Structure 1
């Protein structure tokens, strides 16, 4: 794994509430430590987002850009943290779905952990892909045409998926490798 991203901007897309905090902060830190520039993007004009530790409120985070002004061309990769409410809200936002789909059409890395693949289903980008997620999503992913597997991290082309917070070390390593083109 190459350890430098040479100031690559990485988009982290989250809803105003419901993001699993550790699934936001751990990849964020990995991107920064590798020399990248993470940026927080949200929807609904939110200026801050509320993190959660499972079902308990945790910290808040300042949003860098609203989805309506974010441009895929400005980013090297996209990270979709989980939490149950976060991807459930994102999957109903047209601008968020278009943003996600555009990363795939530009063949840029996308990393989704835990419940985040719900957003990928509604962005219509999972058909034919080998991927993982939190186990309760496996039926949804299979019904959308994905080949779901129970593995710590799965890389399918430029897509990185993982199951849960315990998989974050492997998830972050695969994300950095994808951004570096390794």
Structure 2
């Protein structure tokens, strides 16, 4: 079974992070959150969420690493040399990397988006150095899946599930995504 690791640095965007984990678990994928330091991680909006596992070598056993946004969550991921190394490891081993909102800046620093189509938060075209910025909700290029921001974790998570061979049509219907105007 495919396994997805979602990294939760202090200041993570709660709505993005928890929606991604929720949808991937509903899709039948193993999805664990990884924390740095304390198991209770403070989010961007002062919500504390208990992470599943401590960040470490175990992440390499996963099929995808996901970097949600948040302020300063994205910056905290970017400034952690171990996160940069794990993103490079995933890229070098043709494993999937997902990032959204401010989490996308890690991809540029890790130099894994050179020549690849990516998206990110509005105004991030100049921050995603090396990538080809596309102003779309979700962009997939080779092993990289990116999305824009707090309103986009639904299509982002559905795309990740689809990358791992899951048909999300029934899930979208059950979650009323199509009813709410999602495609």
Quick check: TM above 0.5?
yes
List structure 1 segments (4+ residues) > 3 angstroms apart after TM superposition.
none
Q: 2:103 aligns with which of 108, 116, 119?
A: 116
| TM-score normalised according to structure 1 size | 0.84
Q: How does 1:1-182 map to 2 (within 5 A)?
A: 6=1, 8-15=2-9, 17-43=10-36, 45-52=37-44, 56-58=45-47, 60-72=48-60, 74-141=61-128, 144-180=129-165
SS of match in other structure, 2:127: helix
CA deviations on 1:79-127 (whole Å, 9 max, x unpaired) are: 1111121110111111111111111111112111111111111211121
Contact 1:67 1:95 in 2 (8 A): no
Point out where structure 2 has 5 or more consecutive residues left out of the alignment. 168-183
| TM-score normalised according to structure 2 size | 0.84
Contact 2:5 2:59 in 1 (8 A): no
Bigger proportion of residues as strand = 1
Aligned CA-pair RMSD: 1.7
Query: How many residues get paired?
Result: 167
Point out where structure 1 has 5 or more consecutive residues left out of the alignment. 1-5
